Amino acid sequence: MPALADMPVTPDGHTLAWPADQQGLGQSTHLGAVADPGANLSRLGMAAGLDQEEWTRFVAMVRSRLGMELGDLGGEDGP
């Protein structure tokens, strides 16, 4: 299973993925505009059936590790 070593957001609002492999970092991959992975992560939270406490922890983890904001549970910006 591939693992991401980093997922930076470029100054112009695009997201890159740097996969980790046995030799270190692999080639970067363009994932799209920052809204695309954010929407996918929000849908992941919905599919997992997170309650409010779990959603709050998930949002904090995404913010600290990826620097992305997901919005509130059940709000317009979140599941």
CA distance 23 to 70: 32
Q: Give the Cα separation of 63 and 69 in Å (integer).
A: 6
- For residues 35 and 57, the model is more confident at 57
What is the pLDDT, as a whole number, of residue 9? 83
So what's the pLDDT on residue 6? 80
> Residues, the chain, total?
79
Determine contact, residues 9/38, Cβ cutoff 8 Å.
no
